[in-house]
Amino acid sequence: MNTTYVWAVVIGMGVVNFVVRFVPIAVVTRVQLPKPVKRWLSFVPVSVMAALVAGEVLRPGGAFPLPWQNPYLLAAVPTGLVFYKTRSFLGATVAGVAFFLAFRVLLG
């Protein structure tokens, strides 16, 4: 990737992340958000994560493999369980990579 592109993303990310956090605090200390907007926002994170996981896990590298031949999908299930039990992002990520390697070996 070229350097200008990466720097543009780095700086742009810094700016948009600050704006998206600061503007609401600066504004909402004065006004109330409408209830429907609050409700919509409350569902955004879970929707983003679900869409992302579906895309990354069901279609790794641009193809739809059969579920029982897809190490991404097979590894995602125990990874979710590990997080559910431990509530540790690090533990779940490390365990997930281990599951993934194991399934990749098993599937050849």
Partner 1 sequence: MPIFLGYFPVGMAFGILATTAGFGPLQAVACSAFALAGAGQFIGLSLMPAANVFGVLVATTVVNLRYVLFGATMSPFLRDTTLPTQAALAFSLTDETFAVNIADHQQGLASPSSMAGVGAIAWVGWVGGTMVGAYAASLVGDPARFGVEFAMPAMFTALLVGQIERKRHIVVAAISAAIAVPLVTVLPNKWYLIVASMAAAAIGAVVYR
Residue ranges in contact with partner 1 by CB under 8 A = 1, 3, 5-14, 16-18, 20-26, 28-29, 33, 36, 38-60, 71-72, 75-76, 79-80, 82-84, 87, 89-90, 92-93, 95-98, 100-101, 104
Q: Provide the minimum distance between the beta carbon of 5 and partner 1 in the complex, in angstroms, as a whole number.
A: 7
Contact between 97 and 78 under an 8 Å Cβ cutoff? The reply is no
DSSP 26-90: HHHTTSPPPHHHHHHHHHHHHHHHHHHHHHHHHSGGG----GGG-HHHHHHHHHHHHHHHH--HH
Q: Provide the minimum distance between the beta carbon of 107 and partner 1 in the complex, in angstroms, as a whole number.
A: 13
Q: Provide the minimum distance between the beta carbon of 78 and partner 1 in the complex, in angstroms, as a whole number.
A: 10
